[in-house]
């Protein structure tokens, strides 16, 4: 054990200088209670915290680390890029290569140009601005339970009826900022059609997670994404497929590789930057050509296309070959199978749901297809389940509404640790009572 301060001491210290002690809310463990673990290193499928405890990591930095932590090729690429200069504020070759690689891997006729930004939030915010600029319309449709970053207009809760205007879902967001947002139930095409019947001529875009991962894993029902394509096309609105979470994780081409629906705009993040801060949005050349400096829709970034982040993204995508995707699928299904078996054995009603290799558990009797269904689950079972796993050295998402992210580096030892931990955690979930 090292002399380094322990997580509890660090958390106390962090809370003095950082709101809630964290730089992104879910890290604070509020949904599960207890002290967030301060990590000091990661290697392959494992993380080590400030107390020297090792965990099998089923969060993978919320998605980016498909290769596992500190993958040698990615680390070498980052070191080489850093040694060559950290940022130039000029175009670089790497940015072209990353854009070309993203376009080639997705291989969608409608993905012809890409712009690099710094976060998924920036990607969705910019895509919406572009959609409004291109269509000359103002309204945006999103789905309850889908998260697209902390864009003001998207921090919105549904109005009183289907297709009524949204309310702010955060203090600091004004009614004016959400007044042009319409929040509909996920997987409900009839609601989308009703909404377009009422406001079709005013709707600039529909934004949807390609497969929802931010209410737990909730895949689009068969035909849902295709239906969105049809309705938006018919009414002259753009379809924005948010692949920040699914992109280059659920297949080499992201969700598009599993369900090839042509969006007008795609957003990417996480895997494409290998764990460093970079993201992207892209679409047809005529749409993207409306962005500054080529066109009138303003968008910019001092560190956009940063050479170190681009190097990490390029190295990650280049290393993510067919064997990596086979390992992600196999690991997700192994863990999901073990999870289901442990909960069966403990007599806990559950659904292990997949969206490609994203998955999560809902404590429910029937499959969950939307946010209302996710909220109706016995989420109070998750807290003791989570802590039993944590105590046994398995780091799960500290919230019942998050997807689990495997990586391709998980070895027999990591899977065995999960297998050993699950029965006790399932019994803890069984013993939980609603509070």
Ligand X SMILES: Cc1ncc(COP(=O)(O)O)c(C=O)c1O
| Chain residues that interact with ligand X, rule: CB under 6 A | 62, 119-121, 124, 147-149, 209, 214, 242, 244-245, 269, 279
Whole-number minimum distance, CB 269 to ligand X, in Å? 5
First to last CA, the chain: 37
- 212: Cβ–Cβ under 8 A, 6 or more apart, which residues? 143, 145, 146, 186, 218, 219, 220, 355
If the CB atoms of residues 278 and 410 are measured against ligand X, the closer one turns out to be 278
Q: How far is the CB of 105 from ligand X (least distance, A)?
A: 18
Q: Which CB, 232 or 399, lies closer to ligand X?
A: 399
The residue from 57, 256, 264, 270 that is catalytic is 270
Instruction: Specify burial of residue 171 (Cβ count, 10 A radius: 0-12, 13-18, 19+).
Output: exposed
147 is catalytic: yes
Checking DSSP bridges between strand 46-49 and strand 394-395, what pairing results, if any? unpaired
Q: How far apart are CA 320 and CA 67, in angstroms?
A: 7
280 touches 267 (CB < 8 A)? yes
CB 362 within 8 A of CB 220: no
- Marked catalytic residue, from 57, 188, 242, 264: 242
Tell the smallest beta-carbon distance from residue 163 to ligand X (Å): 23
Q: Clarify whether 142 is annotated catalytic.
A: no
Query: Strand, coil or helix: what is 209?
Result: strand
Helix (H) / strand (E) containing 235 = helix 224-235
CA distance linking residue 27 with residue 357, whole number of Å: 23
49/242 with CB nearer ligand X: 242
Taking the complex as a whole, the smallest distance from the CB of residue 62 to ligand X amounts, in Å, to 6
Nearest to 103 by CA among 272, 324, 345: 272
6 belongs to the catalytic site: no
Q: How far is the CB of 216 from ligand X (least distance, A)?
A: 12
Task: Give 200's Cβ-side CA count (13 Å radius).
Answer: 14
Rank residues 396 and 428 by Cβ distance to ligand X and give the closer one: 396
Phi, psi torsion values for 40, nearest 5 degrees: -115, -25
Residue 225, Ramachandran bin (φ over 0: left; ψ between -120 and 50: alpha; else beta): alpha
CB of 279 to ligand X, least distance (A): 6
Nearer to ligand X, 135 or 208 (CB): 208
In the sheet where 238-242 sits, what is the strand order? 113-117, 279-283, 265-268, 238-242, 203-209, 139-143, 181-184
In the bound complex, what is the minimum distance in angstroms from residue 345's beta carbon to ligand X?
Answer: 32
Calpha distance 212→217 (Å, rounded) = 6
Find the Cα–Cα–Cα–Cα dihedral 414, 418, 421, 425, rounded to 10°.
150
Q: Please tell me the distance from the alpha carbon of residue 114 to that of residue 88, in angstroms, as a whole number.
A: 20
Catalytic residues: 147, 242, 270
């Amino acid at each position: 054990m090292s002399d380094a301060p322990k997580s509890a001491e660090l958390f106390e210290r962090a809370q003095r200088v950082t709101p809630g002690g964290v730089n992104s809310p879910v890290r604070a463990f509020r949904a599960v209670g207890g002290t967030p673990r301060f990590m000091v290193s990661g290697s392959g499928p494992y993380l080590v915290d400030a107390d020297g405890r090792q965990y099998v990591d089923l969060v993978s930095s919320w998605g980016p680390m498909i290769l596992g932590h500190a993958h040698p090729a990615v680390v070498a690429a980052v070191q080489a890029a850093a040694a060559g200069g950290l940022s130039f504020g000029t175009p670089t070759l790497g940015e072209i290569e990353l854009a070309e690689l993203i376009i080639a891997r997705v291989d969608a006729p409608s993905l012809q140009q890409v712009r690099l930004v710094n976060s998924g939030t920036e990607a969705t915010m910019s895509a919406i601005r572009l959609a409004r600029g291109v269509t000359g319309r103002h309204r945006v449709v999103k789905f309850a339970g889908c998260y697209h970053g902390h864009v003001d207009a998207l921090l919105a809760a549904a109005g009183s009826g289907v297709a009524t205007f949204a309310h702010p879902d955060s203090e600091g967001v004004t009614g004016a900022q959400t007044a042009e947002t319409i929040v509909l139930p996920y997987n409900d095409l009839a609601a989308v059609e009703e909404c377009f019947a009422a406001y079709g001529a005013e709707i600039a875009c529909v934004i949807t997670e390609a497969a929802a991962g931010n209410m737990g894993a909730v895949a689009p029902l068969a035909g849902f994404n295709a239906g969105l394509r049809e309705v938006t096309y018919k009414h002259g609105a753009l379809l924005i497929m948010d692949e920040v979470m699914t992109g280059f994780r659920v297949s080499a081409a992201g969700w598009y590789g599993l369900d090839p629906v042509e969006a007008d705009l795609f957003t990417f993040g996480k895997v494409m930057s290998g764990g460093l801060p970079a993201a992207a949005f892209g679409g047809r050349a005529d749409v993207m050509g409306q962005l500054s400096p080529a066109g009138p829709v303003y968008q910019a970034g001092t560190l956009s296309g940063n050479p170190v982040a681009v190097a990490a993204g390029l190295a990650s995508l280049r290393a993510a070959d067919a064997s990596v995707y086979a390992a992600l699928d196999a690991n997700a299904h192994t863990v999901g199978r073990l999870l289901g078996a442990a909960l069966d054995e403990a007599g806990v009603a559950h659904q292990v749901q997949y969206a490609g290799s994203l998955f999560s558990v809902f404590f429910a009797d029937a499959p969950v297809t939307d946010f209302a269904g996710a909220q109706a689950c016995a989420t109070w079972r998750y807290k003791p389940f989570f802590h039993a796993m944590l105590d046994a050295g398995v780091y799960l998402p500290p919230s019942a509404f998050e997807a689990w992210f495997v990586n391709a580096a998980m070895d027999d030892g990591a899977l065995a640790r999960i297998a050993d931990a699950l029965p006790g955690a399932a019994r803890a979930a069984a013993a939980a009572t609603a509070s």
